[in-house]
Amino acid sequence: MRLKAGYHLIEKFILTFLIFICFEIDDALAQDRSMVNTGNFGLPGIIDLPTGRRLPDGELVFMQQIHKSLSRAGVSFQALPRIGFSFRYSGHGFDGTEAYGRYNHDRSFDAHLSILDERKFWPAISLGLRDFIGTGHYSSEYFVGSKSLGSFDLTAGIGFGRLAGRNSISNPMKILSPRFEKRTGKNYGRGGTLGAINWFQGDASPFFGLNYKLGTKIILSSEYTADLMSQESGYLSVKSPWNLGASYRLNKFLNIAAQYLHGSEASITATVAVNPDKPPLKGGRELAPVPMRLRGVDDFPISESNETLIRKVLSADNFLTHKLHFEGNIVHLVVTNTKFRSTTQAVGRLASALQRFTSDDVEFAYITFLVTDLEAASYRVNLKKITDEQFGPALSNSKSGSISAVDLKPQVVRSIQPRFSWGIGPYVTHRLFNPDLPFSMEAGFEVASGYQITRGFNLFGAIRKSALTNLTDNRQRSDSPLPRVHSDWARYDFGGQGGHIHELRLSYTKNLAPGLYGRAHAGLLEPFFAGVGGEVLFKPAQSQLAIGLDIHRVRTRDYRMKFGLLDYETTLGHVTLYYDAGEIFNIEVNAGRYLAGDWGATTTISRKFGSGWEVGGYATLTDVPFDTFGEGSFDKAIYVSIPMDWILSSPNKTRRRLTLRPITRDGGAQLASARKLYRTIKGSQNASFERELGRLWK
Amino acid sequence: MIKFLSIIVAVFGVVSCANNSEFETGEIKIFQAFQKALSQPKKAKVFLDARQLLPRKKVDELQIPILYVKLETGQNGTLTLYPGQGVGQTWLGADGATITFDQGVLKASRGMGDDLMGSSSFMPQWAKIKDDEITYVRELDYLTGNNKTSTLVLNCTMKKSENQEQIEIWDVKFKVRLFTEVCFSDDKIITNTYYLDTYNRVRKSLQYHSETVGYIQTERLDR
């Protein structure tokens, strides 16, 4: 009894300690990136073994390893200064029945927690969990320390699970609790869950190795692994516990490593590491904004606003000016920003132009951004107060009061965009993680057209015709006992090959009141569903919170995706809470009824960077039992959204989102078109403005 | 695979168009963005000397303030003074970049990539700097990759040379006095030089801009 109480005390202590160190953010302690080698599991490592180091905060690593009996692709993310995660998709064996002759394919998920950074007399210390969700092919845990000595980086650790093969000893932590003595079996069910938690249990084995820095670009590595590779014994000949490797850094992003593993296998690993905080070109290139003028009593007076010049300057920056109206000491400006991804930078540009070319009488500007017919956000600018801030950026902060987000009454605005719009171009779509075809892709043509009936009231349609595809090579068919609302994707892929209507809808969006937005739409809403529905969103300008409500009545579309409909019909809806403080994390929770008629909630947590990157993940838990859901147990995904201006170093609003969704099944399935209001306005909102405040006067 | 990629490229190149940016598919946008980036003239390795474009005779005829600026890369050009009273003196280049000075000391730049976003200084006016060394603090603000402001705090010393000297700027001789400013931060030592004419106007200088751009050389061309 006393032992159990002691165990719980230790648990609480460890938890508190972990929470404390996870959120510690101290850039000064960040480790030198050149000292951190990325291993074959996508996290700090020697070759297959981990090290005690950590990746720089926010670092994203994409990796691919290939040898005769293994193909491993993965993405890793240093989500917090001290916590990194890695997701991998591996094909094992050869002469098997799955794609590329693999014996099986497996998804795995790791966590690496840095406890201490290296000090003069202390090594860097970390602990980690490998493959702790799902089937646990690589299930193992470790404590590891690394210490640099000149060009050597020495590592030693103790492993559990798979890492406790050679020279194993009884678990030293059994003195804390007998629960550590024996490793309980992993009951993983349909996969995708933590299963039975057996972390750090059972026998342990020591492991060690080193990295040797040869100049600035080459690292030589050697390690002694305790992993017996028992899971791979059917196709892998393990002749030695030693692994050897050499890696070469081609540039600041790309690293190539050649390795000799287990005394029998030659292997190649390529990693691409990017950090959202470190763009290829610092600052970015664009034309300089208009310099402001002095507006004091002793300065050169300006008695008339130059409206023509303001419009010209805004046009040069690709702003579409819908309204420029002077009223007493206020100027009202409504624009569509077509150039700058950063709303902060757009506000700065507009404010500078207004500050310089309006008369001294005009003291305040109200700037409103129009996004797809919605007044997405408004800012109040004190034109006199900002004068000193343009070249004193430290003065511009949320407390200065010179620029603040405000709620305005919906305005009468005449949109200057053309009523009839059209576009023609290619589309590319892909599917991942099908064991028969891990990566399938389709490219084709898309023709889209829209007509604005009145402001906010639009008819929109898009048709697609595939030109080149291997989506049709998929042999997977749904075995779902639930209504097949998403899992019949393969039938839609086949059915749509003759050309299909991707969307055809009538929609109406409107600013209902200050901070209140509304949308309704009807028609062929998306490839799998037709129906009618709408949403409302309440997002006060200064609030970090928003709340939304959506409801839809939908019916499944025919597999050929023309005008035909199938029998399944349902009503779904969600209450959604959004939280974005403008700092590191934002959260979205959708609770309600899903497409298959199941009830539950989706939680999305993402990290947004000031550079415009977003990395996040979501999980949906509904009343569908894990066994009924099928493989993966519940719906979940991780995603990365990359802004093009980060790559190009010039203003550009385009971004690309890569979503890794391990399994597409019917439990927790959502209507993709159900909630668009928040997505439409969020980039213009105060939180985005605050996140990139340094860019205000760029 | 090669066939697949060829078709994709052909499709992108031939048929991508729209009359409204909102109707461009994601692929069109990506393609256009890269096309734009690739079509930008590559950085010239040899830069044309601005003197060949604007000879001294022309400078004198124009009778407007002109500033010659040269970067460490060799890129150079002439800038004209932005009209009106602003925070400091802002000079505009033909490439759309601006550089702002306060008493001839670099205050900010825009359109130069790793821009100096702003600065503050407790340096006294030139006329008040006597023969003794004076010390003060300067702060230079930069934009981080995460779009936050980072400030470089420098402890500076300004020393005035004892004697006047003569320098030549684009074939014209000016009587000047050299001021040398040495600034220290935790990991940086910066040395700026300023040549002031008899009106206490900075005629020529070599000033630290940023880590990426390095030092910039300035010469005031008008008489």
At B129-183, the pLDDT tens digits run: 887 889 999 999 999 999 999 999 999 999 999 899 999 998 899 999 999 999 9
Residues B30 and B76 in one domain: no
Task: Specify whether B110 is located in the same domain as B215.
Answer: yes
Residues B91 and B23 in one domain: no
Handedness of CA A18, A23, A28, A31 (dihedral sign): positive
The reply to whether B146 touches chain A by the CB within 8 Å rule is yes
**Cα distance between the two ends of chain A:** 64
pLDDT band at A599 (very low <50, low <70, confident <90, very high): very high
Which string of DSSP letters, residue by residue, matches A484-516? Answer: -SSTTHHHHHHHGGG-EEEEEEEEEEEEEETTE
Q: Does B92 touch chain A (CB under 8 A)?
A: yes
pLDDT in tens, chain B (223 residues): 555 555 555 555 555 676 666 666 566 666 666 666 555 555 555 667 777 778 888 888 888 999 999 999 999 999 999 988 888 999 999 889 999 999 999 999 999 999 999 999 999 999 888 878 899 999 999 999 999 999 999 999 999 998 999 999 988 999 999 999 999 998 899 999 999 999 999 999 999 999 999 999 999 998 8
Same domain, B33 and B140: no
Spatial strand order of the sheet with A319-327 comes to A319-327, A330-337, A364-371, A374-382, A403-406
Region A436-454: what's the mean pLDDT? 91
**B87 lies in some domain:** yes
**Residue B168 belongs to domain with CATH number:** 2.40.360.10
**DSSP alpha helix (H) spans, chain B:** 2-15, 26-39, 50-53, 56-62
Is B41's Cβ below 8 Å from some Cβ in A? no
Provide the token pair at B154: 């420098």
DSSP conformational letter for B73: T
- Asked if the structure places residue B53 within a domain, the reply is no
Chain A interface test: which of B4, B25, B213 (most A C-beta within 10 Å): B25
Closest CB from A342, A443, A449 relative to B147: A342
Structural domain contains residue B194: yes
Domains, chain A, in order of start with CATH, read 2-274 (2.40.160.40), 307-416 (no CATH)
* Contact (CB<8Å) A291/B87: yes
Instruction: Give A26-67 pLDDT, tens digit per residue.
Output: 444 445 666 689 999 999 999 999 999 999 999 999 999 999
Phi and psi torsions of B45, nearest 5°: -85, -30
**What is the four-CA torsion angle of A128, A131, A134, A138, rounded to 10 degrees?**
-140
Residues B82 and B187 in one domain: yes
- Residue A20: pLDDT above 60? no
Residues of A in contact with B40 (CB under 8 A): 650
Residues 6+ apart with CB under 8 A from A443: A426, A427, A428, A466, A467, A468, A469, B4, B7, B8, B11
What is the b/e burial string over A304-333, where b = at least 16 CB atoms within 10 angstroms of the residue's CB? ebeeeebeebbeebebbbbbbeeeeebbbb
ipTM of predicted assembly, 2 dp? 0.86
A59 vs chain B: nearest CA distance in angstroms?
13
pLDDT at position A363:
96
Give the span between the Cα atoms of A282 and B113, in whole angstroms. 6
From A288, A392, A425, residue closest to B27, measured CB to CB? A425
CA dist A357 and A288 (Å) reads 16
Nearest to B28 among A391, A425, A652 (CB): A425
| Counted domains in chain B | 2
Residue B49 located in a structural domain: no
B21, B75: one domain: no
Residue B52 located in a structural domain: no
| Residue A450 with chain B: CB contacts under 8 Å | 20, 23
Quick check: B114 contacting A, CB < 8 Å?
Answer: yes
pLDDT of residue B22: 64
> Which residues is A270 bridged to in the sheet?
A64, A256
| Chain A residue with the nearest C-alpha to that of B82 | A291
Same domain, B96 and B136: yes
Residues spanned by the domain of B174 = 65-220
Which member of A277, A282, A449 has the closest CB to residue B212?
A282
Contacts of A418 in chain B (CB under 8 A): 19-20
- CB-closest option in A284, A299, A393 to B117: A393
Task: Please provide the DSSP assignment of A457-476 as one string.
Answer: EEEEEEEEEEEEE-GGG---
Nearest CB to B15: which of A293, A424, A609? A424
B118 and B199 fall within a common domain: yes
Given strand B76-81, what is the order of strands in its sheet? B105-110, B98-102, B89-93, B76-81, B66-71, B214-220, B202-210, B188-196, B172-185, B149-169, B134-143, B116-121
Over the Cα atoms of chain B, what is R_g?
22
Determine the Cα–Cα distance for residues A510 and A487; give it in Å rounded to an integer: 34
Residue A297: pLDDT band (50, 70, 90) is: low
CA distance B150 to chain A (A): 9
- Is B57 inside any structural domain? no
User: Tokens 């405040």, residue?
Assistant: A693
Which residues, at least 6 apart from B55, have a Cβ–Cβ distance to it below 8 Å? none
Residues B93 and B154 in one domain: yes
Distance from CA of B17 to the nearest CA of A (A): 6
> Which residue from B25, B175, B53 is spatially nearest to A446, judged by alpha carbons?
B25
The helix (run of H) or strand (run of E) holding residue A348 is: helix A343-357
pLDDT above 60 (res A303):
yes
- Say if residue B78 is in the same domain as residue B156: yes
Q: Which residues of chain B make contact with A426, given a CB cutoff of 8 A?
A: 8, 11-12, 15-16, 25, 27-28
Pair B16, B72 in one domain? no
**Mean pLDDT on A412-435:** 86
Residue at B93 is within a domain: yes
Q: Would you place residue A241 in the very low, low, confident or very high pLDDT band (cuts 50, 70, 90)? A: very high
Does B24 share its domain with B73? no
